[in-house]
Structures are given as C-alpha cells and as structure tokens.
Chain A
Amino acid sequence: MKKLIKVALVGNPNVGKTAIMNALAGTSEKVGNWPGVTVQKKTGCYSFRGFEVELVDLPGIYSLTSYTIEEKVTRNFLLGGDYDVVADVIDVTLLGRNLYLTLELLEMGIKPVIVLNKMDELEDYGYTIDKNVLEKLLKLPVVEISAVKKKGLDELSETFLMVATGDLKPEGFTPLYSDTLENAISLIEYFFKDVKLSYPKRWFLIKLLEKDPEVTEWAREVLGEKFTGLSKEMERIEEEVLRKFRCDLPSFVAKERFLLASRIATAAVKHVIEFPYESFSDKIDRVVTNPFTGIPIFFFVMWLVFKLTFDLSSPISDLIDNFFSSFLPGIVENYLSFLPQPLKSLINDGVLAGVGAVMVFLPVLGILYLLMSVLEDTGYMARAAALWDNFMKLFGLSGASVIPMILGFGCNVPAIYATRAMRSSVQKLVTMMIIPWMSCSARLTVFSVFTAAFFKEHQSIVMLGLYLLGVFLALGLAAVLTRFLAEGEVDEFFIELPPYKLPAWNVVLNQTFIEIREFVTKAGTVIFAVSVFIWALASLPPGSTYAGEETFVGYLGKLLLPLFAPLGIEDWKPIVALIFGALAKEVVVGTMGALYGSSEEGLGKALQSAFTPESAVAFLVFTLLYIPCVATIAAIKQESGGWRYPLLAVAIQLSVAWVMAFLVFNLLTFL
C-alpha cells in the first residue's frame, strides 16, 4: 500500500489552480460537489517517489470570512484539518493582493507551502521576486513554478512530501498588526479567558473584530450572557477606530492585513522597471464593457460561438445518430433476425436508442467546452459578465448568468455546464433552474410544424412570442428564486478583469476531455436508464404495437386526458408525444407522426383535425415550458450534486406550464 498524502490547494480566483491540477494529476481529475452545496469540488491523484498524492482544489476566494458559500466551504475544510499539506497558490504578478489570503491562513495557524505560480509571466512585468526574502519573512517554504509551462513541478511535489513526512517543519510567521488592532485583540481576549475554544484563539478574536457572521454566532454560543458585555466592548472599540481612522472595524482589520501583505510584497520584489501597464488592454476594456459598443460585440461573439458549435458538431452528431438509429439496428435486423421480436425491440428501441441519446451530445458538448474555455481563458468572459451585471441585477442575477442563458437557446445541456464559470453558487443554482425555459433548438421543430399548420400567415410572430414568453418567465422565476435562496448571500459586487492572454491549449484540451468523461459517466447513465424505462412503458404489455393505444404509455396518455382537457387537448396521442418529449424535445414531432400514422409532412393535416388554433397555441406553450429533457435533468443533477434541485425544477415547470397553457387557451377562446 502506498502512503497517501492529501494536499489542499487554496488561492484567489484566476491564480492557475486548475492548471496546477492538470500539470500534476493529468486526467485523473474527478469533478463533484462539496456536500450540501452547489460548489464544485475537484480532486486529482498522482504518484511521486512511492507516495500517492491526492490534490483537493478548494474554491477560489479572496478572503476567509464567511460571507459567501465558497468562503465557508474553504474555511470549514481548513478548520476540519483533513489534509497533510496546504498549498497556498499565488499569482506572482499580483503578489501583494495574494499574500492577503496567506496572512489569513497564518492567523488560522496553518503553515502552507507557498506556491509562486506564473513565474514565466513575470518577465513581462519588468521585475523579479526574491524568493529568499519571502521565505525569511513568512517563515514558510516557497516554491517557484509555472504550471502552464510545467516548470518547477518536481520541486513542488518534493516539498509536499517533505512537509507531509515532517522532514520539513515550517515555523510560520505570526502576523502582528498596528498597536490599535493589537490592543483591540487583547481587550476582547479578556472575555474568553476562562473559555475553551475549539478554534485557534487569535484567529477567532480577529474574525470576531471583523464581525464575521459565523464566528460571531460561535462566540454568542460559548459566552452566553457574557456576550452582551463583549458587544458593548466591540462597539466602544469601533467608535475609537471610526474616530481615529474614519473606518469601520471590519474594513479596518482587512486594511491592516492588506497593508502588511503589501509591505511583505514590496520587500520581496526586485528591479522594478516602470512601464506603461497595457494601456491597449484598457482601451479594449473601455469598448467591450461600454453598453453601446459592448452589447453588439457581445451578440456577435455569441453568434460566432453558436455558429461554430452547431455548424461543426452537427455533421458529427448526424453521423453518430445514424450509426445508432439506423446502422446498428440494421445489423440487428439482418444478422440477429433469429432473436424474438421483444428482444430485438429492447436492443433497438431501448438500448441503442439510449446509448445514442447520450452519444449525440458529445460533439456539441466537446466543441462548446472548448469555446467556453477559450472565452474564459482569454479574459472575455469576465468582461461580458461585467457588461451585463447592471441589467441582470434587476432579476437578482449577475452578469455571469447571461452567457449560459444564451447558450440555452442552442441546447440546454451545455448551457447548464456553462454555469460552472459562475462564482456565486446561489446564482449558479438559480441560473440552472431557469435555463430550461430558454427555448432550445429541439423545441423549434415542434413550433415549426404547428405554426405551419395553424398560423401560416403569422408563423414568425407566434414563434418569436414563444421565445419571448420563455425568457420573460425565466427572468421572473429568477427574481422569485433569488429571493428565497439568496438569504444572507452578498451580491457579487466586483469582478476581476484578468489580463487578456491566449488560452493554454494543453490545459484546455485536458479539461475538455475530463468534462466529456464526467458527462458520459454521470449524466449519461441517467439518460440511458430513463430511455430504457420509457421504452418499457411503450412496448409493454408484450404483443402490443410500439407506443400504441394498448401499451402502458398509451394507457397513461388516456389517464392524463382529464388534466389536459382544460387546455383544449382532447386526444391522448399528443399527450403520449409529450411523455416521449421528456426524453428529448425533438421526439415530440416524430412520435405524433407515428401515432397519427402520417409522415411529418402529412402531419399538418392530421393536426388540423385534432387541434383548434387555440388549443394548438396552448399545446405549444405547454411544450415550451413543461419539463426539461432528461439530459438537462441529468445535467442539473450532476451540477447541483443531488436530486433536490432537478426535481424542484420539474415540479415548478410542470405547474407553470399547465397554468400558462390554461390561461392562454382560455384567453384566446374568450377573445
């Protein structure tokens, strides 16, 4: 048995932790969720000198307070102590700001290995960093690396081993602050002199002065009645700080820490050459974040992403679709004709259709991941988020939700995965819940068949109306959901704009491969299972025609008829089509074609006799809103880490769809 070493990666956003995971652990990376929250957890493993090293990527954060879920997850993991080594990843081009988090770690009594990443970019900035000065000041091991260029990695692993085995015992510097702050710490320490704390005391006291919500709650619990005295003392301290420094207590503590971090950084930086910081990049920023120029540019970029994704993927998807829906079934018919009919049907309509349903997503997902990583890596994603922030605030969302929502018009599945780029987990969750109402291209097939049959004259207006209805309801739902979920969550109020740069292709490709594999193993299994289940409903009891009146699905359709009568739908066949539509919305048209015994072209005639124009609109509204397809449900389950949110989405959407279809039908009939 190899000895296992667990290394936790901590750092600000954009410091290159993903690149480090990639460089060290390659494709062994696993993506999941932290228990109970929608914050992504990535782990990866690799072997080094006979040890098995497990990397745990903690969420990227600027500080270790408890104002956001990401900060809480990171902090609780660090307090839990389930690791051998903490690696504090630092972007050397922003040394001062990054050391802020280092000081917070030291306050917690953690002695991290300092990982200076992006050493290769430093020369562009006209200075060097004296690693020895940092080592001496922080009393911590410092390793210089470039994850993208794969430099310094062996030394890094070596340091992990030495710290884990105890060969290297970092002393760790205790951050000391100004007299005012140190006095304040001693003053409140008095209240805890007889109290046993399960946390490092100095850290606890500093966080209390920062009015950290979680620590304040803990203090209230341990102190009981004495808490009032502490509050009074804190008020007095704050008054003094306010008078002397015109600064509230939490900002004062943060400022002290920031200034100390800057002082350490200044001591370590050598040979500063003044140079005009990319004024060109500032010029681009002014254009892309100004609404007048930025919004057209944004739509152009999105159009390009769409075009590339769907143009490049559709020939491959078609090939895969053909392979699973006609080539392989053909082989089964020809060479396995001795098999009994039900078994052949199981293979063709159940298994192959199910596997095919998973596989057709791969090209579109692969290309979209690639393009999304490019948008993220080049730095455009952050600008787009900044551009839309103001507008999306109206609905309780942030600018970061815009890109996933727009992608939803192509296909909801990659749109759900695109929410990973969002930092706030509450907004990520809300965005996932509303994406299914972005009308995807599969729904377009249903819209076009119906509008051609009923509204030849006003086809485009009806379609546009449906798209707008979806967007309108999605934003409305977001406004409602954020109100319930965003309790205590602070708005995302600033976004860092990283320097523009070319993507690191090795990281991008590796990451795309990992994502695709995760999709097949996690979402793919759900999609497959549901496909086979629906096949069973449509072919049992034995001896009945597939999806016919006497099968379970036909029975179900008739059973549900009373529910659909108020929407003007009085035939069981469209209901069966809707049940199949849960698999994939493009199936709705095909199923109706089969049930009405007509080709897709002749379907229009059949529909005109089964629907009135009013009930046709109601059916379209219902199709737009009723349920995310199984692949989308599986994606939401994978991303939110459980069944709670996908099931909630299904419940909300089914009920809203029914109500809206009911309203539309009755309103139109009344008019």
Chain B
Amino acid sequence: MKLVNVPEGKSVRVVSIGGGFGVRNRLAAIGVYPGAVVKVVKSPPGPIIIEVAGSRMAIGKGMAAKIEVEEA
C-alpha cells in the first residue's frame, strides 16, 4: 500500500521510501524512516497530512506515492 492511498485516521508503518538519498535522509530526520509508525490525518484531494513525532507534516501527493506502508 502507498501512503497516498491510506484512509484518514489510520496509523501505518513505513516499509520503504523512494526518491534520492537527500529526500530519504531528510525525511528520516523528522521521523519518517522504514519501520516508523505515522498517522494519516488527512488524505487527498490536496496534500497528505501525517502526524509524526508529535508534529504535523504536509506531504505532496507525488512524494506520498513513493512511500510504501503497511498495517501498523
């Protein structure tokens, strides 16, 4: 399952993240890394909002389509 398809209010575990090293490293710095659990606060249309490590992050649809997740 991709992060972009997760319904609102659901917590999921990150499996893998696509994109360059820079993107992955920076996402890990805010708490989005393989194995981390994030909660989807809002799903499309519009950007995805996740709760991670106590803060809210808006992630673009394109980016969210590159994040593979599974049931937490």
Contacts and interface: CB of A to CB of B under 8 A. Distances in A.
Given A65-B22, A247-B35, A289-B49, A97 B58 contact: no
B45 A291 contact: yes
Nearest to A288: B46
A251 B28 contact: yes
B23 A490 contact: yes
B24 interface: yes
B35 A390 contact: no
Nearest to B58: A386
A32 interface: no
A94 B26 contact: no
A393 B60 contact: yes
A496 B55 contact: yes
Given A65-B25, A67-B25, A251-B17, A390 B60 contact: yes
A289 B47 contact: yes
A495 B59 CA distance: 7
B23 A294 contact: no
Contact of A248 (B21, B35, B41, B58): B21
A497 B59 contact: no
Interface in B18-72: 19-31, 33-36, 41-42, 45-47, 49, 51, 53-63
Contact of A93 (B17, B19, B25, B54): B54
A120 interface: no
A246 B26 CA distance: 18
Q: How many B residues touch the partner, as a band?
A: 35 or more
Given A255-B33, A494-B59, A497-B58, A390 B26 contact: no
A408 B58 CA distance: 26
Contacts of B25: 63, 65, 67, 210-211, 250-251, 253-254
A4 B72 CA distance: 54
Contacts of A252: 33
A383 B8 CA distance: 18
A100 B29 contact: yes
A390 B47 contact: yes
Nearest to B9: A282
Given A63-B25, A254-B29, A493 B59 contact: yes
Contact of A247 (B33, B54, B58): B33
B16 interface: yes
A406 B18 CA distance: 34
A258 B26 contact: no
Q: Helix, strand, loop or mixed for chain B's interface?
A: mixed
A246 B63 contact: no
Nearest to A12: B30
A190 interface: no
A498 B45 CA distance: 21
B53 A277 contact: no
Contact of B28 (A255, A292, A490): A255
A496 B57 contact: yes
Contacts of B34: 245-247, 251, 255
A96 interface: yes
Nearest to B32: A494
A156 B35 CA distance: 38
B46 A290 contact: yes
Instruction: Tell me if A's interface is mostly helix, strand, loop or mixed.
Output: helix
A96 B56 contact: no
B57 to A, nearest CB: 5
Contact of B51 (A277, A291, A292, A383): A277
A387 B16 CA distance: 25
Most buried by B among A386, A387, A495, A496: A386
A389 interface: yes
A536 interface: no
B53 A246 contact: no
A153 B62 CA distance: 44
A352 interface: no
A285 B56 contact: yes
Nearest to A62: B29
Given A62-B30, A67-B26, A292 B53 contact: no
A104 to B, nearest CB: 9
A497 B21 contact: no
B49 A97 contact: no
B23 to A, nearest CB: 6
A147 interface: no
B60 A389 contact: yes
Contacts of B26: 62-63, 65, 67, 490, 493
Contacts of A393: 60, 62
Interface string A273-296: 000010000100110011110100
Given A211-B25, A285-B42, 8 more contacts: A210-B21, A246-B15, A255-B33, A289-B49, A382-B58, A491-B23, A495-B57, A495-B58
Interface of A: 62-63, 65, 67, 93-94, 96-97, 100, 210-211, 213, 245-248, 250-255, 257-258, 262, 277, 282, 285-286, 289-292, 294, 382-383, 386-387, 389-390, 393, 490-491, 493-498
Interface of B: 8, 15-17, 19-31, 33-36, 41-42, 45-47, 49, 51, 53-63
27 contacts: A63-B26, A65-B25, A96-B53, A97-B30, A97-B54, A211-B25, A251-B25, A251-B34, A252-B33, A253-B25, A255-B28, A255-B33, A255-B34, A258-B31, A258-B53, A262-B53, A290-B42, A290-B45, A386-B47, A387-B47, A389-B47, A390-B46, A390-B62, A493-B27, A494-B30, A496-B55, A497-B55
Q: Ordered nearest first, which 7 A-B pairs have the shortest CB separation?
A: A254-B28, A386-B58, A67-B22, A255-B33, A63-B29, A497-B56, A250-B25
